[in-house]
Amino acid sequence: MHSVTDSGSGHQDALARAGEGLTLYHFRICPFCIKVHWAIRQLGLDIPCKNIRSDPGAREELLAGGGRTMVPCLRIETDGETRWLYESDDIIDFLRQRVVV
């Protein structure tokens, strides 16, 4: 968990650490993806995103790693292990727990 209650550069550093190791697989017009993007903005996180509709490589990564091409999907890399988290509410809950506001 990363606390972001302090101000200034410490706040930005905490947000950057909270987004480390995360990648969101999505496509633009998916309402559940939009919901996750909104939460990411609200939390102030900077998470790389891969559009599986416009990037065939991203779609293949998602299928190979997560086992299906359902979006949104958050790839979580920690301690050399990769976890694939589906379902918008689960992703948002994970992000909120990762960032202590």
Q: How many CA atoms lie within 13 A of 75 on its CB side?
A: 23
2 within 8 A of 99, measured Cβ to Cβ: yes
Residue with tokens 């990648």: 23
Instruction: Output the pTM of the full model.
Output: 0.83
Here the CATH number for the domain that contains residue 70 is 3.40.30.10
pLDDT score recorded for residue 11: 59
Phi, then psi, of 58 in degrees rounded to 5? -65, -40
Would the pLDDT of 16 be above 80? no
Instruction: Find the mean pLDDT for residues 5-15.
Output: 55
User: Mean pLDDT score of the chain, rounded to an integer?
Assistant: 87
Instruction: Find the mean pLDDT for residues 45-54.
Output: 95
Q: Which domain holds residue 27?
A: 2-100
CA distance 97 to 34: 20
Count up the domains in the chain and report the number: 1
Would the pLDDT of 6 be above 90? no
